[in-house]
Amino acid sequence: MTHQFLSPEWIAAVRDLRNEFPEAGSVVPIAIRMNLIVNETPFDADVSAHVDTSQGALIVEEGHLEGPDLHVTVDYVTARALLVDGNPQAAMSAFMAGKIRVDGDMAKLLNLQSSSPDPASLAFAERIRSITS
């Protein structure tokens, strides 16, 4: 079964997948605390989330952290291209077009982006693609 990217059903399905892939993102060499807003969504409101690797594992969850290293605002189409399709070229094009706004420690974001995912993370990403419509 597939779900629309960032819908409540999609978020719940991704949480369930985390249980199938507990080792995915279990060791991330870059410590970062990032708040994320996805705008221009097909929903009634923006989607707020955060990424936290400060404890060594990748945690992606709804809501915002207090005292993040950076804050990223991105449009829905670009967020899907980055987070589901794994298209890093989308990030560069969107950044140049002003569709990604970064406030805070951009060096940490660039370091995170340049790190190589482990095999379990690659398998997890493939499963996310398979449940996303």
Mean pLDDT of 115-121: 80
For the stretch 17-53, pLDDT in tens is: 888 888 887 777 889 999 999 999 999 899 999 999 8
Mean pLDDT of 57-77: 93
Residue 117 CB-half CA count within 13 A: 14
Mean pLDDT of 67-77: 96
Residue 75 pLDDT: 95
Residue 48 pLDDT: 97
Q: Which two tokens stand for residue 1?
A: 């079964």
User: pLDDT at residue 110 above 80?
Assistant: yes
The model's pTM is: 0.87
User: pLDDT at residue 117 above 90?
Assistant: no
Mean pLDDT of 55-69: 91
Q: CA angle, 49 as apex, 5 and 79 as ends, to 5°?
A: 45
- CB count within 10 Å of CB 126 equals 10
Residue 5 pLDDT: 95
User: pLDDT at residue 113 above 80?
Assistant: no
Residue 111 pLDDT: 83
Residue 74 pLDDT: 96
Spell out the residues 6+ positions from residue 32 whose beta carbon is closer than 8 angstroms to its own: 51, 52, 53, 54, 69, 70, 108, 109, 111, 112
Q: Which two tokens stand for residue 77?
A: 């189409």
Q: Which two tokens stand for residue 18?
A: 């985390």
Calpha distance 131→108 (Å, rounded): 30
Fold of 8-122: Nonspecific Lipid-transfer Protein; Chain A (3.30.1050)
